[in-house]
Amino acid sequence: AQTVTQSQPEMSVQEAETVTLSCTYDTSESDYYLFWYKQPPSRQMILVIRQEAYKQQNATENRFSVNFQKAAKSFSLKISDSQLGDAAMYFCAYRGSWYNNNDMRFGAGTRLTVKP
């Protein structure tokens, strides 16, 4: 079974600084998708960024970028120029290829605090 591990229960960053959230996963598949979701106190699940495993290029979305290391099964999220609104729980998620399973498996989350 696929598992997703987020080893940092909590992280903090100074406003305008950069922070990296770690995520590793375990899978025997070669084709899959990885996601980072943000969950603010309102508890909505907001997609931050996604990465297709077949793409070597790291995904970037404005201030958010990933470091995808397929061989190491690592998928970290970098937040640049951190803003107060970035404070939230961040969940890393894995979804397998369509023909295997299409549900998402989530990590335990990292609570990010942004200090003014």
Partner 1 sequence: EPEVTQTPSHQVTQMGQEVILRCVPISNHLYFYWYRQILGQKVEFLVSFYNNEISEKSEIFDDQFSVERPDGSNFTLKIRSTKLEDSAMYFCASIQDSNQPQHFGDGTRLSIL
Query: How wide is the angle at C-alpha 82 spanned by C-alphas 81 and 87, nearest 5°?
Result: 170
Least Å from the CB of residue 39 to partner 1: 8
Least Å from the CB of residue 26 to partner 1: 15
Listed residue (110, 89, 85) closest to 39, CA to CA: 89
Least Å from the CB of residue 101 to partner 1: 6
82/110 with CB nearer partner 1: 110
Question: Is residue 94 a contact partner of residue 32, using CB atoms and an 8 Å limit?
Answer: yes
43/71 with CB nearer partner 1: 43
Listed residue (61, 110, 104) closest to 89, CA to CA: 110
94/114 with CB nearer partner 1: 94
Residues in the site for partner 1, rule: CB under 8 A? Answer: 33, 35, 37, 42-47, 50, 91, 93, 95, 97-98, 101-109
